[in-house]
Amino acid sequence: MTTLQPTKPLHAHADSALDPIRAKVLAGERLSLDDGAVLYATNDIWSVIELADLVRRRMHGDKAYYNINRHLNYSNVCALSCKFCEFYRKRGEPGEYTRSIDYIKDEARKGIESGATEMHIVGGLHPYLPFDYYTDMLSALRETAPDIHLKAFTAVELVHLARIAKVYKRDDIKSGVRWVLEKLIAAGLGSLPGGGAEVFDDRVHKEAFKNKIGAHEWLDVHLVAHELGLNTNCTMLYGHVDKRDERLRHMEILRRSQDQALARIGYEGDPSAYIAEGIPEAQQITAPVVTLNRDDAQLPTPAMSERGGYYQTITPLPFFPDGSDLESLPGPSGLENLRTIAITRLMLDNFPHVKAFWIMQTLPMAQLMLEAGADDIDGTVVWYDITKAVGEHTHQETTVLDLQKAITEAGFVPVERDTLYREVVRNGNEWHI
């Protein structure tokens, strides 16, 4: 019997420009920004998907992850006015809200009732809430639901908290953020979500989210979190004023930041570290190159976090134009979303997980994306205010059975994970790792 080796695409319309990229992927080598541009330009989308699937299966076989979680947006009041954002309200504007600690505790109780293992907590940059609100929130949650992991606050919020707590120093962001994170960890913080990264590019920053922190600060916050032993995630909000090459540079910057994190926790990489072409000096990271896209690569585990944290997951977020200042833009197509997930898997060769966030991608597209590089679809979510895929509703819940069914139907084995990707053993609402 002969084994089928995916050294050549099996479909018609194969693009030979992908041959050198195919060879690199099969050898587990790092792709260049130019390779990324070829992957974006080709009409041979099936080969791009096939290559991403190969890497995804090397890392995770036929497992696909989901979790039982609750997203909590504690306030939509925000000092910023990012053009892509429909979520924020100014103080006094109709629809503004800020949740009380009692409301938040109630959410935690509902989380316990539904068997949730995670609360994902983010909000706007509230100009007046005191620093204590955030530590009280975490302490109250810790007390009410001691077993639920608290994944909370994006890098942007953490810099804002440093300002509120008056520990922010423009020329030394890290020390203020370290102070903030130490306080939040003591109150119960378990990891950082990946929001607020958008696209690391000065032009895009200026056009779409001018007053938000830039790449340099975002990366510094995650660096400090990793140094303190927290695992973090990251995102890429694309399909608005960004261009494909800017997305690729964003991926490159994240990839180098992960090289740095993995080196810190003991991965021995290729010491012939490189300076990436086209990346601004401020975002150049010199670290050994670490790749995980080979059959024999060992993915990082939570146990390694004792030596420092790392990026677990990249979640590409497709832009939702409705209600934002960029409403006139069309937003990315389904095909662009599929291609971007696949390219993300191929470029971010040192990231263990790629998430197709079903809330933004829709569950049917997330199913397809499991075949195109994604290995995770996020969780039950329940309430989500930042984007609304269908209609006006912030109640965006799916059941565990729906998630499992979607994964099984796509030909994968559903695996419930906790926030740190440990497999959950469950008996109803009782669970353990």
- Candidate list 124, 195, 373, 414; residue touching ligand V47; CB under 6 A: 195
Distance of CA 351 to the CA centre of its chain: 10
Nearer to ligand V47, 371 or 376 (CB): 376
Rule CB under 6 A: say whether 387 interacts with ligand V47. yes
- Candidate list 237, 263, 279, 382; residue touching ligand V47; CB under 6 A: 237
Rule CB under 6 A: say whether 258 interacts with ligand V47. no
Segment near ligand V47 (CB under 6 A); pick from 98-106, 192-200, 302-310, 405-413: 192-200
Strands of the sheet containing 376-379, edge to edge, are 376-379, 63-67, 413-416
Give the whole-angstrom CA distance, residue 103 versus residue 347: 41
What is the smallest separation between the CB atom of 198 and ligand V47, expressed in angstroms?
6
Residues in 23-52 that interact with ligand V47 by CB under 6 A:
none
Give the whole-angstrom CA distance, residue 86 versus residue 88: 6
Rule CB under 6 A: say whether 198 interacts with ligand V47. yes
What is the smallest separation between the CB atom of 154 and ligand V47, expressed in angstroms?
6
Compute the Cα dihedral for 148, 149, 153, 154 and give only its sign.
negative
Residues in 135-174 that interact with ligand V47 by CB under 6 A:
154
Rule CB under 6 A: say whether 354 interacts with ligand V47. no
Segment near ligand V47 (CB under 6 A); pick from 3-11, 72-80, 93-101, 187-195: 187-195
- Candidate list 117, 235, 337, 361; residue touching ligand V47; CB under 6 A: 235
* 197-200 contacts at long range (C-beta below 8 A, 24 or more positions apart): 197/155, 197/234, 197/235, 197/236, 197/237, 197/250, 197/254, 198/84, 198/235, 198/236, 198/237, 199/236, 199/237, 199/238, 199/242, 199/246, 199/247, 199/250, 200/249, 200/250, 200/253, 200/254, 200/283
Rule CB under 6 A: say whether 378 interacts with ligand V47. yes
Give the whole-angstrom CA distance, residue 387 versus residue 154: 16
Residues in 67-86 that interact with ligand V47 by CB under 6 A:
84-86
Rule CB under 6 A: say whether 396 interacts with ligand V47. no
Nearest to 254, CA basis, from 272, 237, 234, 239: 234
Nearer to ligand V47, 234 or 265 (CB): 234
Instruction: Decide: helix, strand or coil at residue 49.
Output: helix
Categorise residue 172: left if φ over 0, alpha if ψ from -120 to 50, beta otherwise.
beta
Rule CB under 6 A: say whether 380 interacts with ligand V47. no
The residues of the shown chain that bind ligand V47, judged by CB under 6 A, are: 84-87, 154, 193-196, 198, 233, 235, 237, 313, 315, 317, 319-320, 324, 357, 378, 386-387
